Amino acid sequence: MFVCTLLTDPANPSLDPALIDNLRNAWAGGDVQWLAVDEAAAFSLPSIPDNRWDVWADVQKMGVDLVILPMEGRRKRMLLADMDSTMIQQECIDELADVAGVGDRVKDITARAMNGELNFEAAIRERVGLLKDLPEDVIGQVLEERITLMPGGPTLLATMKAHGAYAALVSGGFTAFTAAVAAKLGFDENRANTLLAAGGVLTGEVGVPILGQQAKVDALEEITGRLGLSEDDVLAVGDGANDLKMLGRAGLGVALHAKPAVAAQCDVRVNFGDLTALLYLQGYARSEFVSV
């Protein structure tokens, strides 16, 4: 059995009951379960419909995300999350670069790297090089003044952890940011790159080894092995090219507001919902959410 979940932006819930009923009837689905009024609904399916992606494209025009998953094992026991543009709304290195006066140059490199157009390691070295001599205390300033959590993140963490899940933040960004974000949201651990500094200023270099796409897969393997979990127990979420291997290996890999080239390679795409969409995909109703 499979389950079809449809959801919208919770800031502007507009899920039409008629759309749900028509789709359920066309696909011979089971009874509709409203996970949140006007926001998210689900129904069972005997098989994956042949016209799945045609319908997906149609409902995208209505501001609706549609995801079809196996019914068995929906609720995951581990969350493995990217940070930049996933758990937070910014790219940390872009914000540092903006303060340093090289924002446009760095943002262009970041966008191309996250879209898979550039080698990640070369791109991070080039961008960090442009931050040379930036005062180290700017990191704290950027964290306080420029970094905001992605909507739904605190509820996602609180709800999954209340049901026994383990949470790991694994980023191609920097430990100075992941440590703060992980502590704020309640992640159990975090992994990222290290910005090197000396004499109170950034050296323009990044610590080695550089954590990129493979490091996220390594984290998935290491943590599941340590906890006695299978990869099927993992929900992974990310938005960039360096997340693709992680998303492909996890039992449920979600491309969240992802770059087009990344989304095209993922079956589970959330373009309108916030991070609470990951709870709906696991079958949680809004009434089960743990508020923070």
Q: What domains are defined for the chain?
A: 1-72 (3.30.70), 74-292 (3.40.50.1000)
0.85 exceeded by the pTM?
A: yes
- Based on the number of CB atoms within 10 Å of its own CB, is 183 exposed (0-12), middle (13-18) or buried (19 or more)? exposed
So what's the pLDDT on residue 80? 98
User: Which residue numbers are catalytic?
Assistant: 82, 84
So what's the pLDDT on residue 35? 98
Q: Is the peptide bond before 209 cis (omega within 30 degrees of 0)?
A: yes
So what's the pLDDT on residue 263? 93
The secondary structure element, H or E, covering residue 140 is helix 138-145
List the chain pLDDT tens, one digit each, 292 residues.
999 999 999 999 999 999 999 999 999 999 999 999 999 999 999 999 999 999 999 999 999 999 999 999 999 999 999 999 999 999 999 999 998 898 898 888 888 887 788 888 888 899 999 999 999 999 999 999 999 999 999 999 999 999 999 999 999 999 999 999 999 999 999 999 999 999 999 999 999 988 888 999 999 999 999 999 999 999 999 999 899 999 999 999 999 999 888 899 999 999 999 999 999 999 999 999 998 8
So what's the pLDDT on residue 12? 93
**Token pair listed for 128:** 């960090």
Using DSSP's 3-state secondary structure scheme, residue 290 falls into: coil
So what's the pLDDT on residue 96? 92
So what's the pLDDT on residue 116? 80
Backbone angles phi, psi at 54, to 5 degrees: -65, -45
Pairing of strands 195-198, 40-45: unpaired
Distances (CA, A) of 218 to 194, 224, 244, 245, 252: 18, 10, 13, 10, 17
Instruction: Please check whether residue 238 is in contact with residue 81, taking contact to mean a CB–CB distance below 8 angstroms.
Output: yes
CA–CA separation, 117 and 108 (whole Å): 11
CA–CA separation, 40 and 29 (whole Å): 16
Q: Could you tell me if residue 249 is left (phi over 0), alpha (psi between -120 and 50 degrees) or otherwise beta?
A: alpha
So what's the pLDDT on residue 237? 98
**Token pair listed for 81:** 């999350």
So what's the pLDDT on residue 292? 81
- Based on the number of CB atoms within 10 Å of its own CB, is 260 exposed (0-12), middle (13-18) or buried (19 or more)? exposed
Query: What is the CB-side half-sphere exposure of residue 12 using CA atoms within 13 A?
Result: 4
